[in-house]
Amino acid sequence: MGPLAGIKVVEVAGLAAAPFGCMILADLGADVLRVDRVDRTGNSASGVSHGAWTDPLSRGRRSIALDLKTAEGLEILLQLAGHADVLVEAFRPGVAERLGFGPDVCLEANPRLVYARMTGWGQDGPLAPTAGHDIDYIAISGALSIVGRAGERPLPPVNLAGDFGGGGMLLAIGILAALLERQGSGRGQVIDAAMVDGSALLTAMFHGLRAGGTWQDERGTNLIDGGAPFYDTYQTADGGYLAVGALEPAFYSELVAGLGLADAGLPDRNDRANWPALRERLTTVIAQRTTAEWAEVFAGSDACVAPVLSLSEAPDHPHNKARGTFTEVAGLTQPAPAPRFSRTPADPPQPPPAPGADTDAVLTSLGYDQPRIADLRSRRVTA
């Protein structure tokens, strides 16, 4: 089930960004086969060790374990690529070529293959051969500079902007676009998805605002970066937080009414000089009730107010429960597949496979008999 049913993806195991992109493809119905290392035992696709194989980024896959540094392991990978629609790899530039499964080799064997490459810096440029992490990629793209409080250091937005939004999501979009183009041309192509490019793309609106004079480079001083008191978070009486996003005048009117400040003579919010005083008033009032009490006050209103929920609290919010925004897979609560489709809905996600769990079945489908499979396993070509 799902709109990508019938699409075959070979994912050479990586960390964070590429697994997230492949999780999206698997969620939407693609048959994703992950090629794990023969010595991979406990690390998840997020790079964190788990007691059990419960990493959501790895859900919905099959897994074969191969030693790609052996001639036979490489031969098996090339056979898989020859029958696939998509191959995803996340090595540094040149590594796949040195191992023998670069795009030239794979596309020669399978001209319809979409060969997707996920890196931080991209396939070229002076930084391409060097190591990096999400924080480095979003640093030079400009994305990191706009997150944080005024007068304070930039605050890493965990790895949402680099690994996931600017990385894995961009990778998935690129793959879908290449598959769509292939319907007309009949040919595959190489996708160069880089987190530095993707995180820069996420800042497009702010470049426009800056050019128009409505955005300042100084973070924490603008309309939607926490600079405006009517677009910020506030601590409540129980130590929780309330998110306030009352940008439009009508929504702001509902906000001040709900706070009991409609007739309190609040300073004009359109004058930035009044923002510190207005923030002080909002801070004082919001601190007088708990998060739950404020959520009840603003329930059903257009004040654009919401409680700031933790990862453990979010699945129990009534809206999320009604929408089925979260699901449970193998006992682990996690985000459900998105978006939703009216005619080709996706199946519920399946638990992540243990590394190599499907090795025998995959090799059998390629024509390997049991004695040969046993021999490959005994020599640690497979596991």
pLDDT digits (tens, 9 = 90+) for 201-240: 999 999 999 999 999 999 999 999 999 999 999 999 999 9
Q: Which domains does the chain have, with CATH numbers?
A: 8-202+326-378 (3.40.50.10540), 231-235+241-307 (3.30.1540.10)
Q: 382: which DSSP letter?
A: B
User: Does 319 participate in catalysis according to the annotation?
Assistant: no
**Model pLDDT, residue 52:** 42
State percent of the chain over pLDDT 90: 94
User: Does 136 participate in catalysis according to the annotation?
Assistant: no
Catalytic residue among 163, 197, 225, 358: 163
> CA triplet 311, 316, 318: central angle to 5 degrees?
130
Q: Which residues of the chain have pLDDT under 50?
A: 42, 48-52
pLDDT digits (tens, 9 = 90+) for 55-72: 999 999 999 999 999 999
Burial of 152 (0-12, 13-18, 19+ CB in 10 A): exposed
Q: pTM (2 decimals)?
A: 0.93
Q: 155: which DSSP letter?
A: -
In 3D space, the residue among 22, 25, 21, 23 whose CA is nearest the CA of residue 4 turns out to be: 25
In 3D space, the residue among 374, 371, 348, 17 whose CA is nearest the CA of residue 164 turns out to be: 17
pLDDT digits (tens, 9 = 90+) for 253-302: 999 999 999 999 999 999 999 999 999 999 999 999 999 999 999 999 99
